[in-house]
Structure 1
Amino acid sequence: MFTPDQTVQHYENFPVGSFLLPKAFRKPIAVVYHVARYADDLADEGDALAQDRIAALNECSAELQRIELGQTPLTARFQALSAVVAQYQIPLQLFEDLFSAFRQDVVKTRYQNFGEVIDYCRRSANPVGRILLHIFGFTDAKMLAQSDGICTALQLINFWQDVAIDLKKDRIYLPQDELAKFGLTEAMLFAGQTSPAFARLLAYQCDRSRKMLRAGSPLGVALPGRIGLEIRTIVLSADRIISKLKAVNYDVYTARPTLGSLDWPIILYQAIKAGFVKPSAPPTCH
């Protein structure tokens, strides 16, 4: 049974709130991260029943309501969040969007088309970027839209990287209509072997995700100093994962790509270098 205080270790492709950011931002981002990760783990970790997971996530929403009503949340993590929300004027709806996506993960395991996947990303990923921009103090419409593009791409890239992992949870984020279009069935996915058709499908998904990533990447140049450097590092990390997927011919069953100690110096160098180029030339990292 998953307990609310259980700590689960996670590998992160795209670490947020790293040492690259000014120190003043790290604590509020850590508060936001721990709330989001806690809620995500309620949906995913342990062996709790679906109704218990939903109930726990509903309590997270109840804590948001207490904050909205000016009441003191019951738990320390939401008390900390309340202070951050007040200081940076973060819309509470962004957190509720996250919780709604996590509740969806408990009950929805298939996606009929790409539009359904994008709607999930709109709630599971985009709020994180928007919350960060509120903390950074940059919330104009163009920057929010660029952030949405980056965050959606990050979520999608995680999906394509984690196809085999999600299958173990009986989850398939690859759209059902696109599986059929490429001549694939769920049985083929569960067989655990990368076929030419599967490689073509993942290549298609990765190409589409990379276009979204690069469309949003000018945000990393528009944001100043170390904030921009952090965003460029995240974008380049995602781009590098796509390149690694291509390098193994999209065989996520036996060669799931991750970023290691040798990747980060290259990514950081490229991120610093990209800060000196025009936003019209999005960074790449191969």
Structure 2
Amino acid sequence: MSSLSPPPLAAAPTHYENFPVASWLCPPRLRPPIAAIYAFARTADDIADEGDAGPAERLEALRDFRADLAAAAGGAAPASRWPEVFGPLAFAMREFALPEKLLADLLSAFVQDIEKTRDRAGYADRAELLDYCRRSANPIGRLLLHLYGVTDARSLAQSDAVCSALQLINFWQDLSVDLPRGRRYLPREDCRVHGLAEGDFDRFAPLATTAPPSAAIALVASEVAWARGLMQEGAPLVHRLPGRAGWELRFVVQGGSRILDKIEAQGCDTFSARPTLGRGDAALLAWRALRMRRQSAA
């Protein structure tokens, strides 16, 4: 570690996320780099998704953002457009050797989102969607494991499973929001198996008069089962992480699983309404997180 003083902590989160960010469970030493990673990802996501800019303008801004990442990684001064992001991030990259590739993968996913939304294009199958998750979600988990010094292949694979599951859960939770905006994450192959085509979903988007057919409900149920299976595959990682990190991940796993419960409780119809977590879920999440700990000790 150098003797340089870190720049001010990156801005606190203001958006809902599935991922923990510099919470009280995180060791104080790691809060600045985690906050810097979050600010980087959140700002790039806002560039890709917020405001009134068109696709071309968004893509150009992300190219500039990628150039600033390269500058930060190389020790050069980034442009002044996002100093609140790249000041803390450059420091974190130096002090903690954060891999540039993982951060660049996030930007690649944001670019893909813009292009697919622009073209109203979806995903051919689950493999293609998982490749998107590999870049949109898995880098977050791997960056956190890097900060905790966890590098073994089994832990990385379990982290990828949890992060991909969280991304899929977000997709199936947000169908009522994404479909009207031209975002299509339901794989075409899965749709075909259930006798559906991408265009069918326009008929029962929010405010439409046609209720989702049973085939669409069955499709979402199958996607929920897929996401739950991935989460269960990665959940043993909570027993491999030390102290606060393990507790943090317990709540992440249980939060994602609780959203799946709520999707199922509303009949897997997320075309009409978006299920969310509330204060009333806190006690249940804490009990389930504690139960995971007890099972690991048994």
TM-score by length of 2: 0.87
Shift of the alpha carbon at 1:21?
A: 2.1
The one of 117, 140, 156 equivalent to 1:128 is: 140
Q: Distance in 2 between matches of 1:261 and 1:26?
A: 25
Which aligned pairs between 1:88-237 and structure 2 lie closer than 5 A?
88-108=96-116, 109-192=121-204, 193-237=211-255
Q: Distance in 1 between matches of 2:283 and 2:32?
A: 25
CA contact (8 A) 1:161 1:252 kept: yes
CA contact (8 A) 2:129 2:185 kept: yes
What is the percentage of aligned positions where both structures have the same residue?
43
Q: Distance in 2 between matches of 1:248 and 1:14?
A: 24
Shift of the alpha carbon at 1:23?
A: 2.7
Matching residue's letter, 1:217 = A
User: Does 1:277 find its partner at 2:277?
Assistant: no
Shift of the alpha carbon at 1:164?
A: 1.6
- Where structure 1 has 5 or more consecutive residues not aligned to the other structure, the ranges are 1-6, 282-286
Aligned in 2, Cα 1:64/1:23: closer, same or farther, shift over 3 Å? Answer: same
Q: Distance in 2 between matches of 1:25 and 1:272?
A: 24
State the secondary structure of the residue aligned to 2:70.
Answer: helix
Q: Distance in 2 between matches of 1:145 and 1:13?
A: 19
Shift of the alpha carbon at 1:13?
A: 4.2
Aligned in 2, Cα 1:215/1:153: closer, same or farther, shift over 3 Å? Answer: same
Q: Distance in 2 between matches of 1:87 and 1:197?
A: 52
Give the stretch that moved more between structures: 13-22 or 205-214: 13-22
State the secondary structure of the residue aligned to 1:278.
Answer: helix
State the secondary structure of the residue aligned to 1:217.
Answer: helix
Q: Distance in 1 between matches of 2:101 and 2:13?
A: 26
CA contact (8 A) 1:13 1:258 kept: no
- Where structure 2 has 5 or more consecutive residues not aligned to the other structure, the ranges are 1-11, 205-210
Matching residue's letter, 2:37 = V
State the secondary structure of the residue aligned to 1:206.
Answer: helix
Shift of the alpha carbon at 1:8?
A: 9.2
Aligned to 2:56: 51
Shift of the alpha carbon at 1:11?
A: 2.6
Matching residue's letter, 2:155 = M
Aligned to 1:32: 37
CA contact (8 A) 1:221 1:232 kept: no
Q: Distance in 1 between matches of 2:280 and 2:19?
A: 15
Give the stretch that moved more between structures: 133-142 or 226-235: 133-142
Matching residue's letter, 1:237 = G
Shift of the alpha carbon at 1:268?
A: 1.7
Aligned to 2:257: 239
Aligned in 2, Cα 1:10/1:238: closer, same or farther, shift over 3 Å? Answer: same
* CA deviation vs aligned residue, 1:193-227 (integer Å, no higher than 9, x gap): 32211111111111111111111111111111111
Matching residue's letter, 1:27 = P
* CA deviation vs aligned residue, 1:87-130 (integer Å, no higher than 9, x gap): 21111000100000000011113111111101100000000000
Shift of the alpha carbon at 1:187?
A: 3.3
Q: Distance in 2 between matches of 1:182 and 1:96?
A: 36
Matching residue's letter, 2:70 = Q
